Amino acid sequence: MSTAHAGPGDYSRVPNPEQALKYAIQHIAGERVEIIEGVITPVSPSWAHESAVDLIREQIGPRMRALGLRAGSGNLDLPGTENFYVPDLAVVPAALAKTEGALLPDQTVLVVEVTSPSNGDTDRTAKRRRYAQYGAPLYLLVDRQERVCTLFSQPGRLGYTLVEGPRPFGVPVRLPAPFGLDLDTAEF
């Protein structure tokens, strides 16, 4: 009986390569990383990037608490794909915020991505498509390079069916139910 070992790139002996890859980035990588269409990408936002996220968190905070929601940048898994995202901000029910593992996009109430020069195209295309496919009900794209915000809603397998924007920074963006508030974008 042969005891041949698998060579580099031979995943025939790995029971589930998708799970192995996702486990590795969560437990071995040593820093926050995400997988976007099979490419491992470090997450290292700038202060300007984080400032935009913080401004959103401040504005939605009171409404979020009234609704029993929590916000953070916890992991979102997209099972069946080589995708594992670390959103800039995800709003979820408080009970789910206590989850140790990754959540699914359809368990969120709102997902926010803020573009950086290195990831703008990913946030505009790949993540938008995948969040829709996996049922994230609201996806807010804050595009710092284009200086616009776009809200995507009504997810489907082929993408979001309702798009509000792009709206230039300074023009409020209406966050629909359950938020029911206008997001001030002037300081983004």
pLDDT tens, residue by residue, 97-131: 998 889 999 999 999 999 999 889 999 999 999 99
Does the residue 20 lie in any domain? no
Domain that holds residue 73: 45-183
pLDDT tens, residue by residue, 32-57: 788 898 888 888 888 999 999 999 99
Predicted model pTM: 0.87
Q: Cα 36 to the chain's mean position, in Å?
A: 11
Does the residue 3 lie in any domain? no
Give the Å distances, CA to CA, from 26 to 30, 101, 132: 8, 10, 24
Q: Is 54 helix (H, G, I), strand (E, B) or coil?
A: helix
User: In total, how many domains does the chain have?
Assistant: 1
Does the residue 172 lie in any domain? yes
Q: Are 80 and 108 in contact (CB under 8 A)?
A: no
Does the residue 133 lie in any domain? yes
We report the CATH number of the domain holding residue 176 as: 3.90.1570.10
Does the residue 59 lie in any domain? yes
Does the residue 108 lie in any domain? yes
Does the residue 160 lie in any domain? yes
